[in-house]
Amino acid sequence: MNRLISICAFMALVAGLCAQQPFEPVTETFCYEDNEPAPVHPVPSRRQLMWQETEFYAFFHFGMNTCTDAEWGNGGEAEAMYAPSMLPDPKQWLAAVREAGMRGGIAVAKHHDGFCLWPTATTSHSVVNAGNAQGRATNIPAAFAAAARELGMKYGFYVSPWDLSSSYWGDATGRYVDSLFLPQCLELARYGSDQFEMWFDGATGSDHPGFYGGANTSRAIAVPATYYDIPNLLDTIHKIAPNCVIWGLGDEARWIGNEEGWAGETNWAMGDGESGDINGWKWRAGESDAKATDRGWFWHEGEKPKPAEELFRMYLETVGRNATFILNFPPDISGRLPEADVAVLKELGSLLSLRLGSDKAITAHSITASETRPRGRSRDYAVSNLTDGDKDTYWATSDTTLSATITLEWERPQTLTYLMLMEYIRLGQRIKRFSVETSMDGRSWQRRAEGSTTTVGYKRILPLCGNTSQPKPVEAKYLRVTIDDARGCPTLHTLSVF
């Protein structure tokens, strides 16, 4: 009995102590001390942010189709048909696109025909059984990853979930996913923990006849997201490559909705399609994929690059409209980018540095804002943060101010063609509407870039006059940007003028 009493007394004492324990409120102390604005959700994950910063990168479609002159194989191609005329040279591909200012590339590792461009343990339908020594000698993903690292570029792989070669694809047992698809993705993840994106094509071509291990039939799957075991796919890759965005199937970034190299002038990082949706609950920024040549994703005899001016316009309408831009350059049968492509890439690089390479905002005599958020302990929100070249410092207003003005003044009139704005998207995409004006005397102002000044997002580039096909320079001594409406107080980290 005594024992029971002392146990009860002890328990009462513990309960009493617990009850007196002060409740620890969950506050983000450092956010409060720095007076940082609260995020406006949704916000990007760390890997989504890093991915967005890649901005402009290449797509390389090379493989069985290059050798058979096809865009979509049927999966029944004999391995021996893969026979590049020289040793494929991924370093040449990446070095060429780097000249155009691209920061990385994605190489096809397996297209719909199922032919694997690396020696995989999952199937004999791979480079191991290629038709010649050049084909057998190059493990494309391994060589591509090594070249990217050597050149200081980002890299990733395109993997087609749809596999027309496999007898298992689409059957009810899930054998394709368990014994081919997921193990292949794991093998590819192991080619580098520093991959930035894996590209999972959504095509399933349900009415497209395929080989399917000799079945020669058409097949369909009901719900790709369920069939391909997406949670497992995400885990498998992220455990090895934590910063790898799973494009398409994984829904960490979205298809912009066309393959012509443009995004909507209004473009939210939430929602779907070319313009996204201000009310979307999930961060899924847009990626725009387009061909840089006139015929195919894969190379065909006579394939010609589009003019550099056209590619520059695409850049303005993708990277300049809050999307990333993946531009396809197909290596030819020798496993190299043709001379004409290399030349266009150089030309594009020159256009980009000539037109968007030297920022006149940093030469402004003054930059002022109608309001600046009070500084916190270790952070300020000064308007000078817009021109300090640091993406981690930003200008912001007080919480309730959703409209504000930034004005630049130069000592002498300037010739200005483009304005570039970048939001501090770590705290969410906020700006809904803004306007741009220029002036020669600071009293009479002319509206610029009219009709297209809605969202900003990660990056927005606007011709001040004319349009993306024909931008026209303006003379101005003053430039004024007014944020007219936002989802929360505006947070901008860069303002540039070219």
What residues make contact with ligand FUL under the rule CB under 6 A?
71, 201, 203, 289, 297
Shortest distance, CB of residue 64 to ligand FUL, whole angstroms? 12
- Please report where in the chains the tokens 């409406």 appear, as a residue: 485
Shortest distance, CB of residue 329 to ligand FUL, whole angstroms? 12
Residue facing ligand FUL at closest CB distance: 203
Q: In the beta sheet, which residues pair with residue 270?
A: 283
Please identify, using beta-carbon distances, which residue of 266 and 318 lies nearer to ligand FUL: 318
Rounded to the nearest 5°, which phi and psi values hold at 242? Answer: -65, -20
Please identify, using beta-carbon distances, which residue of 201 and 341 lies nearer to ligand FUL: 201
Shortest distance, CB of residue 212 to ligand FUL, whole angstroms? 17
Please identify, using beta-carbon distances, which residue of 82 and 297 lies nearer to ligand FUL: 297
Please identify, using beta-carbon distances, which residue of 203 and 440 lies nearer to ligand FUL: 203
Shortest distance, CB of residue 24 to ligand FUL, whole angstroms? 51
Shortest distance, CB of residue 315 to ligand FUL, whole angstroms? 18
Q: Are strands 474-486 and 431-439 parallel, antiparallel or unpaired?
A: antiparallel
Shortest distance, CB of residue 219 to ligand FUL, whole angstroms? 16
Shortest distance, CB of residue 297 to ligand FUL, whole angstroms? 4
Please identify, using beta-carbon distances, which residue of 112 and 336 lies nearer to ligand FUL: 112
Please identify, using beta-carbon distances, which residue of 203 and 402 lies nearer to ligand FUL: 203
Shortest distance, CB of residue 71 to ligand FUL, whole angstroms? 6
Please identify, using beta-carbon distances, which residue of 289 and 341 lies nearer to ligand FUL: 289
Shortest distance, CB of residue 252 to ligand FUL, whole angstroms? 17
Please identify, using beta-carbon distances, which residue of 62 and 498 lies nearer to ligand FUL: 62
Shortest distance, CB of residue 203 to ligand FUL, whole angstroms? 4
Q: Cα dihedral angle (289, 292, 298, 304), rounded to 10 degrees? A: 160
Separation between Cα atoms, residue 257 and residue 272, nearest integer Å: 8
Please identify, using beta-carbon distances, which residue of 211 and 297 lies nearer to ligand FUL: 297
Please identify, using beta-carbon distances, which residue of 109 and 396 lies nearer to ligand FUL: 109
Shortest distance, CB of residue 201 to ligand FUL, whole angstroms? 5
Nearest CA-CA partner of 70 in 80, 59, 81, 57: 81
Separation between Cα atoms, residue 90 and residue 83, nearest integer Å: 16
3-state secondary structure the chain: CHHHHHHHHHHHHHHHHHHHCCCCCCCCHHHHHCCCCCCCCCCCCHHHHHHHCCCEEEEECCCHHHHHCCCCCCCCCCHHHCCCCCCCCHHHHHHHHHCCCCCEEEEEEECCCCCECCCCCCCCCEHHHCCCHHHHHCCHHHHHHHHHHHHCCEEEEEECCCCCCCCCCCCCCCHHHHHHHHHHHHHHHCCCCCCCEEEECCCCCCCCCECHHHCCECCCCCCHHHHCCHHHHHHHHHHHCCCCEEEECCCCCEECCCCECCCCCCCCCECCCCCCCCCCCCECCEEEEEECECCCCCCCCCCCECCHHHHHHHHHHHCCECEEEEEECCCCCCCCCCHHHHHHHHHHHHHHHHHHCCCCHHHCCEEEECCCCCCCCCCCCCHHHHHCCCCCCCEECCCCCCCEEEEEEEEEEEEECEEEEEECHHHCCCEEEEEEEEECCCCCEEEECCCCCCCCCCCEEEECCECCCCECCEEEEEEEEEEEEECCCCEEEEEEEC
Please identify, using beta-carbon distances, which residue of 160 and 414 lies nearer to ligand FUL: 160
Nearest CA-CA partner of 289 in 310, 252, 316, 263: 263
Shortest distance, CB of residue 441 to ligand FUL, whole angstroms? 51
Please identify, using beta-carbon distances, which residue of 253 and 406 lies nearer to ligand FUL: 253
